[in-house]
Amino acid sequence: MTENERRIQDEYTKWDRYVDVSKSNLEFEEHFDKWNYMDFDKTLNENLHTPGQIFLYENITSNYHVYYPKMSVYLNTLPCDQTIEYECFDFRRTWEYTTSFKLINNVGREYETMMGEQPSLLQSHIQWSNYIMIYGVWNSKPSWREMRRAYEETWWFHKTKQEKRNNKLNKIINGYN
């Protein structure tokens, strides 16, 4: 890894936010069982099978960090040892177009650049110690309403059952289905 690649990675980790989830959090365990990549097709009645499908997911690391939801384009699924690996390409996030940081050019001078100007990378996730939860799958870019419904299901924007019930009632009353 070059020094510039290391700087880009360091800058990205500063801005890529996550929440800690306790191992003993029963509500999270239920949520994970419902939206886990291996079983999400039971919940959504949809499956990732065609390259180019767009999906919304949250990444969970082995130390129980749940990262902010990301939209991604599905590319491929590969067998990997006793599990699977999926490849995708993440959409740029808003903060990437507003975050600048310093890099070093080929003559050794520092210059400032935007995170959004860096090349996008192919994401490869192995379902071994890190997992993903998928909340929506679309064949074309979803409308903001479809995205909003999917985002409301994520752990990042987690609400209790009572809060979800009240939100649904408010949407029905105010005509925002």
The answer to whether 70 and 161 are in contact (CB under 8 A) is no
Q: Is residue 73 part of a domain?
A: yes
Query: pLDDT tens, position by position, for the chain (177 residues)?
Result: 677 778 778 877 777 788 888 766 888 888 888 888 877 777 788 888 899 999 999 998 888 889 999 999 999 988 888 888 889 988 888 888 888 888 877 787 888 888 888 888 888 888 877 788 999 999 999 999 899 889 988 998 888 888 888 888 888 898 876
pTM metric for this prediction: 0.80
**Number of domain units in the chain:** 1
CA angle 132, 55, 122 (to 5 degrees): 75
| Domain assignment present for 146 | no
Cβ 142 vs Cβ 135: under 8 Å: no
Q: Cβ neighbours of residue 10 under 8 Å, at least 6 residues apart?
A: none
Rg (CA), the chain: 18
Residue at 153 is within a domain: no
